[in-house]
Amino acid sequence: MVAAPYGSRLCAGQRVLPLRGGGTWQRFIDLDETWLVPVPPAVDDLLAARGYINPLTAMLMLKRWPVAGKHLVLTAASSSCASLLGQWALAMGARSVSGIIRSPQHRARLEQVGIYPILDTDRALMEKVSQHSDLVFDAVGGELANTLLSVLPGSSTLISYGLLSGRPLTQTSGSATVRKFHLREALPTLSVAAWRAAFDEIWQRLPTTSQPPAQRIALNDWREAIAAAGQPGRGGKILLDFTAG
């Protein structure tokens, strides 16, 4: 922050996430302080820059569908959001978390954080694990989601929060409950208190959560950033540094 009104809960010089307003990519922006998110001293800039979309999506879903004592399945398990879901679910008392992946290169990373990896080509294992799951967090949709739905128990719930396959989920068989989650639709119903409480917990958990390292690239080198973002197998996020040009 470079300026704050008299009586504000925040002060000039304090680091914040400038959310819930347009133009948040700008160097300077005038925002309602109600939705500004203070960044604790223990959270560095690189971590704070990754503290919004995926962490908030994961946190709100875990609050809406409690995981304590339950068996979970994640699709696109190597993605940033699924990784947060899996690690935080285990910390919140989930009995097990299994993650479906396309490439074996992600197997070791998932195992290190307690997530049981399943290749999407191993349909028999995928179906066996799904038959005993309580919650599925699906970011893929299409054929994979439909396959899971066909074997999930009736007591299970599949939460659809993405369509990486580009194809919709069509529940043609199975009796599991299907729910949809989209952060854009969840935000208007979120109270100020719930918004702040979610970030309080995110800041507590994020520093000890395993994530691929981020790559910081100066704004003037934006072409390099675009090229880096398109590299196959890229792990961490690409961050544009506005302070470096």
Rounded distance, CA 17 to CA 43, Å?
12
Which among 116, 112, 122 has a CA at the least distance from the CA of 72? 116
Range with the lowest mean pLDDT among 159-173, 193-207, 223-237? 223-237
Q: Answer for the pair 103, 220: CB distance below 8 angstroms, yes or no.
A: no
Give the residue, 3 or 17, on which the prediction is more confident: 17
Partners of residue 178 on adjacent β-strands: 158
pLDDT at 136: 98
Tally of CB atoms within 10 A around 208: 8
Range with the lowest mean pLDDT among 46-50, 84-88, 111-115? 46-50
DSSP 220: G
Partners of residue 239 on adjacent β-strands: 216
Domains detected in the chain: 1-38 (no CATH), 53-185 (3.40.50.720), 214-245 (no CATH)
The pLDDT of residue 119 is above 70: yes
pLDDT tens digits for range 125-141: 999 999 999 999 999 99
Q: What is the C-alpha radius of gyration for the chain, rounded to an integer number of angstroms?
A: 19
pLDDT-derived band at 245 (thresholds 50, 70, 90) equals low
Give the residue, 186 or 28, on which the prediction is more confident: 186
Q: Answer for the pair 11, 36: CB distance below 8 angstroms, yes or no.
A: no
Which among 211, 212, 209, 200 has a CA at the least distance from the CA of 63? 200
Which among 27, 33, 63, 28 has a CA at the least distance from the CA of 183? 63
The pLDDT of residue 109 is above 90: yes
pLDDT at 30: 85
Q: Answer for the pair 104, 36: CB distance below 8 angstroms, yes or no.
A: no
Q: Which distant-in-sequence residues (6+ apart) come within 8 Å of 179 by Cβ?
A: 65, 157, 158, 159, 160
Rounded distance, CA 172 to CA 150, Å?
8
Rounded distance, CA 172 to CA 224, Å?
45
Q: Answer for the pair 84, 54: CB distance below 8 angstroms, yes or no.
A: yes
pLDDT mean over 167-186 = 89
pLDDT at 22: 76
